[in-house]
């Protein structure tokens, strides 16, 4: 259904999640089911001319972990799925919280064509770039250096106003 709706909106990239880990099911079984499901989902996405982007999401302490919550976990699955209509949503906020090493993972994912969307939001407050610990000036330079042509999605709040946050983000992306 997401693929059909995305196609109606001009080929948007629906963000998808694979769900939480299942403590009573061996990881190898879960992973095989994820791969099979993503291949089927990729075929559906292809029929509608869209690309699904799988988002590794962070987990708060005490919560059941997402099955694919890091780039290190998601990339091998995307490689095995090997479907041009299934990529990773590289959400810098979640990935910084879960594993860090953003530049190396971003470089790897872009080099191997596993990333379909880059999503920004600062850590720890999920506000605009420049208000936290991620070096967004470097990230924007890296995206340019790697010749990234996809969307940069701003999933973030603001430390001031939405207009000011978008202006800071736009300026930082153009200057770096």
Active site residues: 55, 155
pLDDT in tens, 45-63: 999 999 999 999 998 888 8
pLDDT recorded at residue 2: 66
Walking along the chain (176 residues) 10 residues at a time, the average pLDDT comes out as: 74 89 96 98 95 94 91 98 98 96 98 98 96 97 96 93 93 91
Residue 130 has a pLDDT of 94
How is the chain split among helix, strand and coil, in percent rounded to 5? Answer: 45, 10, 40
Q: Is the pTM of this model over 0.85?
A: yes
Could you tell me if 162 and 128 are in contact, meaning their C-beta atoms sit under 8 angstroms apart?
A: no
The boundaries of the domain holding residue 126 are: 2-175
For 172, residues 6+ apart whose C-beta sits below 8 A from its C-beta are 129, 130, 136, 137, 140
The CATH number covering residue 117 comes to 3.20.20.150
Query: Which pair of tokens denotes residue 81?
Result: 């799925």
Domain count within the chain = 1
Distance CA 148, CA 158 (A): 25
């Amino acid at each position: 259904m997401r693929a059909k709706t995305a196609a109606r909106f001009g080929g948007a990239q629906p963000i998808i999640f694979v769900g939480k880990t299942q403590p009573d099911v061996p990881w190898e079984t879960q992973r095989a089911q994820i791969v099979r499901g993503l291949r089927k989902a990729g075929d559906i996405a292809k029929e509608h001319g869209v690309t699904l982007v799988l988002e590794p999401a962070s987990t708060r302490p005490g919560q059941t972990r997402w099955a694919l919550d890091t780039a290190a976990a998601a990339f091998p699955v995307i490689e095995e799925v090997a479907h041009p209509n299934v990529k990773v949503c590289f959400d810098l906020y979640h990935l910084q919280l879960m594993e860090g090493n953003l530049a190396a993972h971003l470089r790897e994912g872009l080099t191997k064509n596993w990333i379909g969307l880059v999503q920004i939001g600062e850590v720890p407050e999920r506000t605009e770039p420049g208000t936290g610990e991620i070096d967004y000036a470097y990230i924007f330079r890296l995206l340019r250096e790697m010749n990234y042509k996809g969307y940069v999605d701003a999933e973030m709040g603001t430390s001031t106003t939405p207009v000011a946050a978008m202006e800071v983000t736009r300026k930082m992306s153009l200057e770096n």
